[in-house]
Amino acid sequence: MDSTNLSSLPEESLEQEQEQQDFQKKPSPSAFASVPHRPPSQSSLQKYSPLDWSCYFDKEQDVSIPDSNDVFHVYMAGTEGPVVFCLHGGGYSGLSFALSASNIKEKARVVAMDMRGHGKSSTENDLDLSIETMCNDVFAVVKAMYGDSPPAIVLVGHSMGGSVAVHVAAKKTLHSLAGLVVVDVVEGTALASLIHMQKILSSRMQHFSSIEKAIEWNVKGGSLRNVDSARISIPSTLKFDESKNCYVYRSRLEETDQYWKGWYEGLSEKFLSSPVPKLLLLAGTDRLDRSLTIGQMQGKFQMVVVRHTGHAIQEDVPDEFSTLILNFISRNRISPHGVEIPGLRRPLQLHS
């Protein structure tokens, strides 16, 4: 049957006529009519505004070293478990472990120290970044915080801090040391990169009109990939220079180049000689030298290559980093008193 011969009901005719009139009143639809409404974008001031450390750490403390004018600033989190003692890289601060600490503190204690010449720490010579001096700083802070009976400590060091952690462990005088985690530093590649360090330091932005601009530059420049971590950690790496009326870097790394080689020479052998469980975290497939390659094949340490991250693994992927740390502690049965040995009623306290 031909539908054109069917007469419409009166109600339908009225509705169709009304719809046609309404359609004629409406303007022609735009080609962009189907694009959903987008809220206004966040301003740079909001996106890169500083975040407070207290949302991640539980407290901060100034640790005064007896018989000196040295005062080291530490951030702490957690109340139970072994102490994950964090040492940051050159130019960073203890707050580079903030996002990771908020996860680790659920099962362990966290102490993140501002190294000499960095963050809120103040020493008689902020430019003495020799490996021996920085090792002594760690020993002094542990002694001042815990006395002669420190709890089990897992040393975690990133970059320069990784070198310090290895040297501290290799001295075998921190008797409560129960584990060693080195983050993205290998002797061979570190030494090879030193010839470029002055150029890298001099080519980075030196002055910032605001803290927000400094955070934005570090994120957009690629040195940090996690915006939230940058918002916490970057402010502590800056200071306001009244003579220049702008923010500049707190640490003067370019004036410490005489010590750089000493950070990394012999690092592989010292790492392997440390008498505790060891974990090496790398941000890329760094070429291991011969001794590390043999050591890994012999099972002397655990190695994990963390994908999709930059140099600061603990900042860029804090959830994955904290999981790796907690798994390391669990795998090696590290308790507040040391390494648990199956069959013993009390965990074994590590001694050299």
Total Cβ atoms within 10 A of residue 179: 25
Q: How far apart are CA 255 and CA 198, in angstroms?
A: 9
Q: Is 159 a catalytic residue?
A: yes
Q: How far apart are CA 168 and CA 258, in angstroms?
A: 20
Q: Residue 239: phi, psi to the nearest 5?
A: -145, 155
Q: What share of the chain is helix, strand, coil (3-state, %, to 5)?
A: 40, 15, 40
- For residue 7, the surrounding DSSP H or E stretch is none
Q: How far apart are CA 130 and CA 141, in angstroms?
A: 17
Q: Exposed, middle or buried: residue 58 (CB in 10 Å: 0-12, 13-18, 19+)?
A: middle
**Residue 172: closest CA among 51, 249, 270:** 270
Choose, from 184, 223, 236, 251, the residue flagged as catalytic.
184
Q: How far apart are CA 190 and CA 306, in angstroms?
A: 18
**Residue 231: closest CA among 96, 62, 48:** 48
**Residue 310: closest CA among 42, 119, 92, 87:** 92
Q: Is 184 a catalytic residue?
A: yes
Choose, from 93, 102, 121, 159, the residue flagged as catalytic.
159
Q: How many Å separate Cα 9 from the centre of its chain?
A: 74
Quick one: DSSP state of residue 104?
Answer: H
The residue type at 313: I
Q: Is 351 a catalytic residue?
A: no
* Tokens linked to 342: 């199956």
Catalytic residues: 159, 184, 311
